[in-house]
Amino acid sequence: MKKRLLTIPLIILSLAACSPHPGAGVWKAEGENTLGIRGMTLAYEGKAVFSSTRVKPALWHCFWNGASSHAANLDCTPSTDTESHERFVFTAGEDGVGELRQQGQVIGRFVRETGNPAIQ
């Protein structure tokens, strides 16, 4: 009986540890940004995608991992130069607003949208 009583809290704790990263989701740009990104998707399985229309117009394919409880590192490759790799950091705020940064500079601010963050 004691084993059963101890099993329930352990199951609950293990489920709480598996919650998705707050950065995972569909994000829409809040106003203009330096790369001309209108929106981005960070999928649950660690992939991300966005399009840029300024500076380096391209479709960006990324892999991301959680850097902290609210920040994600994105390692991205632009469609225009598949040998190039660039790193971004996306930080999701508790207020549903996120920031994309590159080399410490803010690229743009994004607002969480509803929708399934699946990438085909």
Q: Is the pLDDT of residue 5 over 70?
A: no
Give percent of the chain with pLDDT exceeding 70: 81
Average per-residue pLDDT in the chain? Answer: 86
Question: Are 37 and 107 spatial neighbours (Cβ–Cβ below 8 Å)?
Answer: yes
Nearest to 118 by CA among 46, 59, 17: 46
With cut-offs at 50, 70 and 90, classify the pLDDT of residue 15.
very low
With cut-offs at 50, 70 and 90, classify the pLDDT of residue 16.
very low
For residues 80 and 62, what is the distance between their CA atoms, to the nearest angstrom? 14
Task: Write the pLDDT tens digit of every residue in 66-97.
Answer: 999 999 999 999 999 999 999 999 999 989 99
Nearest to 119 by CA among 75, 56, 76, 63: 63
